[in-house]
A and B are shown apart, each in its own frame.
Chain A
């Protein structure tokens, strides 16, 4: 019996460019998730509560977003897609998919003013072909601080569907650090969606490690609505074999004096294919804001495909936006530096590749997860 598939289009660029480049969005066909046999292990810090939303998740999220957030048309350009109220990077089709699959929304609430230094864990073991489809809302109340580690892992050769939608709502002054780690088997289709709404002086740190899986579609949209809000995004990926990595990150800067910084570091080898879309969108009224987006990709052989679309949209004068990309091989100066200390070129290359990925992993506040990542990388290189 063949599973029911849903056609969808995800990871839209906020504005279109030439269709022939094939980067405006990604079309895919996703099987409706089977019964979830994934082992879920939630370890929450004291004070954080968990409940299942009993109403309509979409309505709840829309209400959180408030009335002014629907902006389908970007000045002077055709609308690329119907904007969502509480948007995620993957886009509205993914929300519809989750609704059609009747995936409930779990709300994790961090009480006002509470400071949780230690991370809360949402660990998902998808071994032996288990599918996972889940939606969660992290509701960070005013002035709270919390750290989250969401990790999806399975056996190396496992296959299945891993569809996760995470929304983060940050009230004034709230701080959320979110680490998403994908360590799935080589047959997995991973759909990973993140959307954050930031109130005044809120800060959202988002670190994402994409390792494993057959095809990964991931997107993060941070709406910096509040003045003084801050978004930091860091992504590291390793594309190997015939892996397909498709990323869409957007920082919408509406508040005054907002900050966004997005870093993407990756390594591509074999026949791996990756596309990164990164947008900084300065809206009118975002005076005093800054946005920065940097991409650094290492190509290890001739059969890889690397595509990048780093966009800056700007309708405010008093802003500072920049993006940069470096795509290529290891810098010969760095290789020489290492080899001049007696390290063989081959070993030096491995060290640099591992260093690139471990640089991101080393910030994860959990030794066990770091060790898992390190093992994966050491095995791959």
Chain B
């Protein structure tokens, strides 16, 4: 385990450090055709992308704000600078990254972790990738791991164009349209046929600028028979002005391939996290999502999986911890198209200190998905009587030979369990934290050790009310 990871004593402040004055360039707040055009120029977009952005902007203007989830009244999109570019160009050596940015990442344990077990790290500091490296061994297998901007014009430009926002069309919802108009940064990964990447690739996002939006785009294509684990981590320091994150993740898992996508997200408590993640899974391929949501003020996050090919399979494991001032609306959506497809959703949510957590899901078994199987299992824990926990699942079955099971439980920590642990000499607070960690165990054991430890620390911080 890396010592850069926070330990319980250090507290959350570790995530809250703010770096001063690294903004090199800041767009005028608000969003107009001129701004989008300037973004496009700044980024040297290919012509099709410029057209794409402007079209997305038009759609954005027409679409309605969501009325079914947590309130986003505090978010004034017009006031959020869409594009904040740090002073530095992309570097491929950690030493060339400016001191304060490097310090920020160092404190999060990123480079250290990279040396220890990660195949490559793409750290996005605000909107540009400042650091990018893929280990020799991985690159030599033909694995491409680059920033989206380079991908647009590089060797894989055609592939990018063929897939970019094809899975998440800009018409999907208002914030997908916004993303399409102003997206910036993010990663492109291509794993060629049959290549197994043994160690995880990682990207780490940090939002630093006050009032800045982050709209990174992640596009991953795992070709036939290939295997990849991608880890995404997110955090942002505390600011008073509302911050918006409207990223987009598009994952293509080809025939017989496997992709695991792990996220531990700890955005600061003023963040509106309206992220869209979607995977397309082909014949006999497997998609695994592992998702921990701890931060942000408001989250709308429901990774969607389209099980297109026969025998495709998806497992979603998620945990959400909503503390004071947080309204986290998370869950998953599974769309079964292929025969013999299967999906499994397992989630845990915890509400504390007035926090609101909502589990929202949809399992759709289309007529073509003969013999599909799906299970949903969600458990919620209420830690006090000022918080709130809702479960809003939906199932839509349109074929006769499907099997769909659903189970949900909501409850509290049993007094007996606390007493049992206390009778063995553990303090009450510790006993409760232990029980909550145990509750989260099915998710944390899916994470790499580093992240499991981080998640555990976050749970302890939350339990102590220090988060």
Contacts and interface: CB of A to CB of B under 8 A. Distances in A.
Contacts of B399: 299, 302
A315 B401 CA distance: 38
A308 B405 contact: no
Given A319-B412, A321-B411, 5 more contacts: A78-B69, A315-B389, A316-B382, A327-B402, A328-B405
5 contacts: A24-B68, A77-B390, A319-B411, A324-B407, A329-B403
A7 B68 CA distance: 23
Given A23-B394, A307-B395, A311-B392, A76 B400 contact: no
A75 B394 contact: no
Interface string A263-289: 000000000000000000010100100
Interface string B363-401: 000010010000000001011110111111111111111
Nearest to A308: B395
A15 B390 contact: yes
Contact of B360 (A17, A306, A314, A315): A17
Contact of A287 (B383, B385, B406): B385
Contacts of B405: 324-328
A1 interface: no
B393 to A, nearest CB: 6
A302 B400 contact: yes
B408 A322 contact: yes
B400 A329 contact: yes
A327 B394 contact: no
Contact of B367 (A302, A309, A329): A302
Interface in A76-93: 76-78
A16 B165 CA distance: 27
Given A15-B390, A322-B409, A75 B356 contact: yes
A309 B400 contact: no
A161 B350 CA distance: 47
A310 B409 CA distance: 12
Contacts, number: 157
Given A309-B394, A328-B402, A314 B380 contact: yes
A21 B396 contact: yes
Interface in B59-93: 67-71
Contacts of A329: 400-401, 403
Interface residues of B, number: 43
B367 A314 contact: no
A320 interface: yes
Contact of A327 (B360, B397, B410): B397
B395 A314 contact: no
B404 interface: yes
A311 B391 contact: yes
Contacts of A71: none
A50 interface: no
Interface in B402-430: 402-412
Given A310-B406, A323-B408, A15 B385 contact: no
A317 B412 contact: yes
Interface of A: 13, 15-19, 21, 23-24, 75-78, 282, 284, 287, 299-329
Contacts of A299: 397, 399-402
B344 to A, nearest CB: 15
A308 B90 CA distance: 49
Interface of B: 67-71, 327, 356, 358, 360, 362, 367, 370, 380, 382-385, 387-412
B239 to A, nearest CB: 23
Contacts of A309: 392-395
Contacts of B356: 75-76
Contacts of B68: 15-19, 24, 77-78
Given A75-B356, A309-B393, A319-B411, A328 B404 contact: yes
B362 A324 contact: no
Contact of B362 (A21, A78, A318): A21
Contacts of A303: 400
B395 A315 contact: no
B411 A320 contact: yes
A130 to B, nearest CB: 36
B206 to A, nearest CB: 28
A32 B383 CA distance: 50
A329 B402 CA distance: 7
A15 B392 contact: yes
A319 B400 contact: no
B387 A315 contact: yes
Contact of B406 (A24, A77, A315, A323): A323
A75 B388 contact: yes
B338 to A, nearest CB: 15
Contacts of A315: 385, 387-389
Given A302-B367, A311-B392, A78 B71 contact: yes
Nearest to A291: B410
A309 B388 CA distance: 19
B400 A327 contact: no
Given A15-B392, A284-B385, A327-B402, A312 B67 contact: no
A303 B367 CA distance: 8
B406 A308 contact: yes
A17 B407 contact: no
Nearest to B376: A325
Contacts of B385: 284, 287, 315-318
A307 B396 contact: yes
The 8 A-B residue pairs with the shortest CB-CB distance in the complex, in nearest-first order:
A16-B68, A328-B403, A325-B406, A321-B410, A327-B404, A317-B385, A76-B356, A302-B400
B395 A327 contact: yes
A329 B400 CA distance: 7
B410 A312 contact: yes
B394 A314 contact: no
A324 B384 CA distance: 25
Contacts of B407: 322-325
Contacts of B412: 317-319
